[in-house]
A and B are shown apart, each in its own frame.
Chain A
Amino acid sequence: MTAAISTFDPPLSQPGYRLFDGPLRYVGDVSEGQIGVVGMPSDWTHSSRLGTRFGPDALRRATTLLQSMRPQGTSFDPDTGRRTMPATDWLADCGDAEIIAQDVDATTQAIGTMTEGLTAAGAIPLALGGDHYNSFPACLGYSRGLGKRAPNARFGYIQIDGHLDFSDSLGAWGSHNHATNARRISELPNIDVSNMVWVGIAGWVDGGDLALIEEQGGKVFSASDVHKLGPAEVMRRALAHAMRGCEELYLSIDIDAMDAGYLPGTGSIVHSGITPRQYYDLLDGLAEAPLGGLDIVEVSPPLDPSERTEFLAAEMLFRILRRFRTRSVTEL
């Protein structure tokens, strides 16, 4: 019989990484105005190449490593031309939702419960996929939480993506999978398709889905539009369209809008031609947008042995969260 160890009592720390090396907190302990991170390590609703269930961990690791290499004090930000310093207590990592691989409904509710709690408390849920289906439960919870916090409020929706994901169903996967998430979101009570915008769509799309979006007033910007108009102009138009009559914005970042030559570690690659710089400029275009919730999906580390995909995705988070994670020195 082994004697109980009673004298060794080291200080314990949370194993693994948290996003941006933030603190680990329960949903109920995240404060108003903070970013509340929810991991969605699920890829059972993808139809071909799996691996995104390792995405949340990869994003946590990559953001932590990149953060450690950034200036810890006051510094000059060459992208904005401002002097900034890191903000404090701006983000809390709530860990992963309970994923039940064989039960899409239970997984949906588990994710939705977390983002609902965060939204209702006035925090901003940031959900880490997982395949793109998980964007629906993340937005479902956001929608419910918004309904509690501001019953009459409506939200606009921007999806940066290589694909529309607006199918009503997909083959053997039925109505809840990575090709139907936007369609399911369009059915939520406090959003209208006319406030939904897609940016970066590439290659071929289903003509019926495209027609349905445009007939209802939705807007689609292709990868070619990004090239022709420039990312800043595309996002200016996208934001203006999405926010008509809305108080908040929900943003879904599907990394696969970036050309697969740059970013191969994702389930459904496209050759869109959107470069990393263009993608970051698109996100910079949302610097002052009234973000109510967001997700980043389709990071699949096993599909990119070079690991550059997760670092490109981490940089996307650095961009879209710039105003939260930094403070201008003039504000101090």
Chain B
Amino acid sequence: MPLRSAPLPRMAGHLSFMRAQTKAISDVRPGDLAVLGVPFEDTSAPYAGQSLAPRALRETSVYFGWHANPQFSHPVDIDARQDISTDGLHERLCDLGDFSMGSEDAVHATLRAVVTQINKIGACAVILGGSDHLSEKVQGALPMCQTAQLGGKPRDASGFHIAPVSESTTLTKTSNSARQLTELTEWRNTSRPLFVRFDLSVFETSLSALCDQPRLGGYDLDTVSHWLSALGQLDVSAIMLTGLNPSRPGMGVVKVGQRLMVTALLAFIYARLGFGIIPPTRQISKESVTT
């Protein structure tokens, strides 16, 4: 699909993540970032509405679709005073669309199959949830995978857990100092796939009211972005976004939660593609970034 030749209002046109090209899974190439939505409702969640998250995340992501908007010259990170490269973004970021909802077993089987296939291709799955229960199915599709987790309920004691603080985990990180980033590289086993769980609850609760299970003591945007940038420099097989509920009573119109998540996810995407905006002193990768 070619780049558009004229500006398009954000709410108009085909909705894809960051205005990325849409692809069939068979067309995904090694090194691609393949976005897929899982609009799945967790029936045990305290509020209904998680299934609306993939669409909300895509709608917000269009704000960052510079690469597909000929109106803009080039984006600049005004805080870092640094140009944001977009070279290759349009070629390597693609949107596979949403899962069709069926029976729970069918969804689980499909999710496992899709993640397995993307992993075999050598691409990275960017999964827009939805219920975080499905993250277990993603883990199941990545044999012997290691899990790095930002926010959410810790499910794997051997994983690398990044805020909020939990007493049940072995490695809990409350900041991203150089020492802790070094611990991440020491924890990482490059012979195993890496799965990143990114839950909205990693953010300080006062920054967003759109999380079903908010916790105090979370991170600010800058810290989460730096962690995701660090993780994005590793050979991640899949990242799953969970915890966003756009229909939280009275707060859906505010859209703060999805903006926080997508803004932070950009750091991951940019690091994954090899053109980060994070200062080199904050980068710690020992793995080669797929190019």
Minimum distance in angstroms from A93 CB to a CB of chain B: 29
With A171-B7, A273-B220, A305-B250 given, is the CB distance from A206 to B259 under 8 Å?
Answer: no
Tell me if A208 counts as interface (CB < 8 A to partner B).
Answer: yes
Query: Contact between A222 and B79 (Cβ–Cβ < 8 Å)?
Result: yes
The residues of B that contact A170 with a CB separation of less than 8 Å are 7, 71
With A170-B7, A273-B222 given, is the CB distance from A260 to B259 under 8 Å?
Answer: yes
Interface residues of B in 44-102 (CB under 8 A from A): 64, 66, 71-81, 83-84
Tell me if A271 counts as interface (CB < 8 A to partner B).
Answer: yes
Interface residues of B in 96-114 (CB under 8 A from A): none
Query: Contact between B9 and A47 (Cβ–Cβ < 8 Å)?
Result: yes
The residues of A that contact B250 with a CB separation of less than 8 Å are 305-306
Query: Contact between A224 and B251 (Cβ–Cβ < 8 Å)?
Result: no
Query: Contact between B78 and A264 (Cβ–Cβ < 8 Å)?
Result: no
Closest to B79 in A: A224
Query: Contact between A172 and B9 (Cβ–Cβ < 8 Å)?
Result: yes
Minimum distance in angstroms from A150 CB to a CB of chain B: 35
Summed over the interface, the residue pairs from A and B with CB atoms below 8 Å come to a total of: 98
Minimum distance in angstroms from A321 CB to a CB of chain B: 28
With A172-B7, A202-B78 given, is the CB distance from A208 to B256 under 8 Å?
Answer: no
The residues of A that contact B206 with a CB separation of less than 8 Å are 261
The residues of B that contact A206 with a CB separation of less than 8 Å are 72-76
Our pick among B7, B12, B263 for the contact of A203 (Cβ within 8 Å) is B263
Our pick among B11, B83, B220, B260 for the contact of A207 (Cβ within 8 Å) is B83
Q: What string of 1s and 0s marks CB contacts (under 8 Å) between A214-226 and chain B?
A: 0000001011100
With A171-B9, A269-B259 given, is the CB distance from A204 to B75 under 8 Å?
Answer: yes
Closest to B263 in A: A271
Tell me if A210 counts as interface (CB < 8 A to partner B).
Answer: yes
Q: How far is the CA of A224 from the CA of B77 in the complex (A)?
A: 11
Tell me if A104 counts as interface (CB < 8 A to partner B).
Answer: no
Tell me if B29 counts as interface (CB < 8 A to partner A).
Answer: no
Minimum distance in angstroms from B254 CB to a CB of chain A: 4
Tell me if A72 counts as interface (CB < 8 A to partner B).
Answer: no
Interface residues of A in 138-172 (CB under 8 A from B): 167, 169-172
Query: Contact between B74 and A207 (Cβ–Cβ < 8 Å)?
Result: yes
Q: How far is the CA of A169 from the CA of B83 in the complex (A)?
A: 22
Interface residues of B in 162-184 (CB under 8 A from A): none
Q: What string of 1s and 0s marks CB contacts (under 8 Å) between B228-265 and chain A?
A: 00000000000000000000001101111001100100
Tell me if A205 counts as interface (CB < 8 A to partner B).
Answer: yes
Interface residues of A in 223-255 (CB under 8 A from B): 223-224
The number of chain B residues touching the other chain, given as a range, is 35 or more
Query: Contact between A303 and B253 (Cβ–Cβ < 8 Å)?
Result: yes
Q: How far is the CA of A209 from the CA of B75 in the complex (A)?
A: 10
Interface residues of A in 279-298 (CB under 8 A from B): none
Tell me if B207 counts as interface (CB < 8 A to partner A).
Answer: yes
The residues of A that contact B11 with a CB separation of less than 8 Å are 48
Tell me if B135 counts as interface (CB < 8 A to partner A).
Answer: no
Tell me if A304 counts as interface (CB < 8 A to partner B).
Answer: yes
The residues of A that contact B282 with a CB separation of less than 8 Å are none
Query: Contact between A205 and B208 (Cβ–Cβ < 8 Å)?
Result: no
Our pick among B8, B74, B78, B208 for the contact of A201 (Cβ within 8 Å) is B78
Q: How far is the CA of A200 from the CA of B71 in the complex (A)?
A: 24
The residue among A169, A204, A205, A223 with the most chain B CB atoms within 10 A of its own CB is A204
The residues of B that contact A224 with a CB separation of less than 8 Å are 78-80
Query: Contact between B75 and A207 (Cβ–Cβ < 8 Å)?
Result: yes
The residues of B that contact A303 with a CB separation of less than 8 Å are 253-254
The residues of A that contact B72 with a CB separation of less than 8 Å are 206-208
Query: Contact between A204 and B220 (Cβ–Cβ < 8 Å)?
Result: no
Contacts A/B (CB < 8 Å), 25 sampled: A47-B10, A48-B11, A49-B255, A170-B7, A171-B9, A172-B7, A173-B9, A204-B64, A204-B76, A204-B78, A205-B78, A206-B72, A206-B73, A206-B74, A207-B72, A207-B73, A207-B74, A207-B75, A207-B83, A224-B80, A259-B207, A261-B206, A261-B208, A269-B254, A271-B260
B contacts, CB < 8 Å to A = 7-12, 64, 66, 71-81, 83-84, 204, 206-208, 220-222, 250-251, 253-256, 259-260, 263
Further 10 A-B residue pairs, CB within 8 A, beyond A49-B255, A204-B77, A223-B79: A47-B9, A49-B253, A172-B8, A201-B78, A203-B263, A204-B78, A207-B83, A224-B78, A260-B256, A305-B250
A contacts, CB < 8 Å to B = 47-49, 167, 169-173, 201-211, 220, 222-224, 259-261, 264-265, 269, 271, 273, 302-306
